[in-house]
Structure 1
Amino acid sequence: MDVETQQAALDALHDDPGDLPVLRARFEHNGSPRYMLYTIKKFGFDHDHGFHLDVRLVSDELEGGVETVEAKLQEGDADLIDIDYISTARERAEGAPIVAFHPYGRTVGGLVVGEDSDIEGLEDLRDKRLGVVRRLDKNWILTRAACREFHGFDPDEEATPIEIGSKVGLTEALHDGEVDGVFQFWPIVPEITETGPYREAFPVSELVQRLSGTDNKLPISTFLTSEDYFEDNPQAIRGFKRAYGEAVDQLRSDDELWETIGDELMYENDPAVIRAVRDGWRDMVVDDWDEETVNGMDQLFDHLLDVAGAEAIGVDHLPDGLFRLEVPE
């Protein structure tokens, strides 16, 4: 399913905002939040909760060293995006006026290799060529931290990370045999493993839990907006949080909806792929957060900092004001 076709499916659901505050959502065309955004529009959860969600799908490539969605938020062309909280901390520490106001989920990927690969786990990564979107990608940072913590080596030094620059490029590099494996994002993993001679060597979500030392499911990705939008549009922010909750409930219970999503939004409209993405999404998503959740996120960050170092992470602290659990009145 190409980007234009997916956007057309969303455009068919875009109604008149009327006097409602508009929330401009800009999300990657191959990212999993689009399933939730589509559900909000399909069932009208945005208008039910007092705001108008305007969804546009964008590239997953980098602009000036940051992902396209980040660039759009920082440049004032978007009000809502999602990225991992390590990247959010990095950008906020460098002066970007962005805040995380709601969790999304444990949005990490997995290492995909050929079926006959000798890579089974972290200990097998030495001397391998491994595709990553960029070396500051969360999947690579978590893998480096886990290798250092549990196996006493750094794959950034004892393997060869190859920066590809996009998720589409990762899959192409794997198909072309340019790398021994790729750290692909979780919604795309089934598209590869269910349709070709490939398998997932390990999911990075396992590393998240091992490194955090907790059984609580920690959100890695959060929804972001600008400080100005957060302060000036509390109705839209509160409305989105409620609409998100309804969409999550719908996606957890409605298998037929996932079939529709497969028809409208998925690149591989294969029943096995749809089921794998559906089950992966339900396992990944996080409903809400509280101080305990944020404390767990702090602990995971501190662990990554201790193990991988500030240079690998790209930031040495979580800036004040990064997480906004309470919406202003």
Structure 2
Amino acid sequence: MSFFRMLGAAALLAATAVPAFADDLPQIRAATLEIGTVNWELNTIIEKGFDKAHGFELVLQPYASNDATRVATEGGEADMFVADWIWVARQRAAGKDYVVIPYSTAVGGLVVPEDSPVKTLADLDGKKIGIAGGPLDKSWLILRAFAKSEYGMDLAAQTEQVYGAPPLIMKTATSGELDGAINFWHFLAKMKAAGMREVASVQDAAASLGLDPDTPLLGYVLKESFLAEHPDLAQALYAASRDAKQLLGSDDAAWEAVRPMMNAKTDAQFVQLREDFRAGIPQPGPVDEAAAGRLLALMAELGGSDLVGTATSLPPGLFAKVE
């Protein structure tokens, strides 16, 4: 055999012996909010190689708004985005083939200035509350139900509500222009770091109402048709997510890589954001669908079709099968 034929044969043998690289792995293109907190977990998955360890490649595609992440996934420009599953249930009931993989239990709460005389929701009678997310915000609805159950109080009728974007609610609340505020969890963390104190948490209110506070509200949303083409990806993504959660939940040093994307202005903000993220890590395993069904029923009762559409009960197949 000539030298060149021997070289070619050796090259062919080497090529067949090389293991599959990332180019051979199925991709999950994640549409993310450019400054979204989900990037903390997703970047950890990529940086630590948890995606490739579970047989896929995670690719991040940042967008300027949550609506844009949904449009990208709907249009096939991305494979995944993050949303609360109440919204996904509405879409699935309307015929969309979205499914959810649990991500976080992090929810809001109501905070007041540190020196406020307000001790319970009942003390907010006649006062002004700032609310991020609008009148159908799920934290607001649960706290309304809790106030009625616990104090016989109509929180909507007995307070003045001011709606605004999360940064605006944070600014007006921390400057003392509001008597209380409901905001998304990461803004609440910064508000608490600035000295505000929590009067009522949505998790505690949910438990008082007979709901399971461990039910994850936020999830990774993918198309069922996409997962049908890649039947192992749902479990692979969930496993990589759990690896990242375990690392971020237990290792303070792992947060040094995350800190630059957290927009934490002070050490106090950084620590509060880290600890509140950890508090939102759900227990491993599949979602308790009976518990989720109770939450959806309450949302349907409080928010009506404007919130849940026709999804008055849990749509079959809403949650992907993971363990």
Superposed CA deviations along residues 185-212 of structure 1, whole A, max 9, x for unmatched, are 2222222222x35333332221222223
Distance in 1, matches of 2:96 and 2:295, equals 23
| Residue identity opposite 2:268 in structure 1 | A
- Residue 136 in 1 paired to residue 141 in 2? no
Q: What residue identity is the alignment partner of 2:244?
A: A
Structure 2 distance, partners of 1:59, 1:118, is: 39
Q: Deviations over 1:154-181 (max 9, x none)?
A: 32333233332x3233323435655433
Question: Could you tell me which amino acid in structure 2 is paired with residue 189 of structure 1?
Answer: L
TM-score, with structure 1 as normaliser = 0.80
Equivalents in 2 of 1:197, 1:150: separation in Å?
Answer: 27
Taking the aligned partners of 1:84 and 1:118, their CA distance within structure 2 comes to 33
Contact 2:300 2:308 in 1 (8 A): no
Segment drifting more, 216-225 vs 239-248: 216-225
Q: Is the 8 A contact 1:111 1:181 kept in 2?
A: yes
Counterparts in 2 of 1:137 and 1:58: CA distance versus 1, 3 Å: farther
CA contact (8 A) 1:212 1:300 kept: no
Contact persistence 2:37–2:262 (CA under 8 A): no
Residue 42 of structure 2 is matched in structure 1 by 37
Tell me the residue number matched to 2:114. 115
User: What is the CA–CA distance in structure 2 between the aligned matches of 1:97 and 1:82, rounded to whole Å?
Assistant: 15
Q: Structure 1 residues 136, 41: closer, same or farther in 2, change over 3 A?
A: same
Which 5+ residue runs of structure 2 have no aligned equivalent? 1-20
Paired position in structure 2 for 1:49? 54
The match for 2:248 among 248, 251, 258 is 251
Instruction: Tell me how far 1:248 sits from its aligned partner.
Output: 1.4
Aligned position for 1:231: 228
Equivalence map 1:315-326=2 (5 Å)? 315=309, 316-325=312-321
Tell me the residue number matched to 2:308: 314
1:310 partner amino acid: G
- CA contact 1:105–1:221 (8 Å) conserved in 2: yes
1:283 paired to 2:279: yes
In structure 2, how many angstroms separate the alpha carbons of the residues matched to 1:184 and 1:121?
17
1:98 counterpart = 2:98: yes
2:3 alignment counterpart: none
> In structure 2, how many angstroms separate the alpha carbons of the residues matched to 1:124 and 1:76?
49
- Within 5 Å, give how 1:76-225 maps onto structure 2: 76-100=76-100, 102-127=101-126, 128-164=128-164, 166-175=165-174, 179-194=178-193, 196-214=194-212, 217-225=214-222
Asked whether the equivalents of residues 88 and 98 of structure 2 are also in contact (C-alpha less than 8 Å), the reply is: yes
Cα drift, residue 147 of structure 1: 2.0
Alignment of 1:300 with 2:299, yes or no, is: no
Over 3 Å counting, the alpha-carbon distance change for 1:167 and 1:29 in structure 2 is farther
Displacement of 1:311 in angstroms is: 4.7
| Whole-angstrom distance in 1 between the partners of 2:64 and 2:122 | 34
Q: Does the residue aligned with 2:25 lie in a helix, a strand or coil?
A: coil
Query: Contact between 1:29 and 1:57, CA under 8 Å: does it hold in 2?
Result: yes
Deviates more, 1:135-144 or 1:147-156: 147-156
Which amino acid counterpart does residue 56 of structure 1 have in structure 2?
Q
Q: Which residue of 1 aligns with 2:13?
A: none
Once the 2 structures are TM-superposed, how far is the Cα of residue 40 of structure 1 from its aligned partner?
A: 0.3
CA contact 1:131–1:173 (8 Å) conserved in 2: no
Taking the aligned partners of 2:316 and 2:304, their CA distance within structure 1 comes to 17
Q: Is the aligned partner of 1:19 residue 2:24?
A: yes
Computing the radius of gyration over CA atoms, which structure comes out larger, 1 or 2? 2
Q: Which runs of 5+ in 1 are unaligned?
A: 1-15, 62-66
Q: Is the 8 A contact 2:113 2:174 kept in 1?
A: no
Give yes or no for contact 1:211–1:300 (8 Å, CA) kept in 2. Answer: no
Aligned length: 300
Q: Give yes or no for contact 2:90–2:308 (8 Å, CA) kept in 1.
A: yes
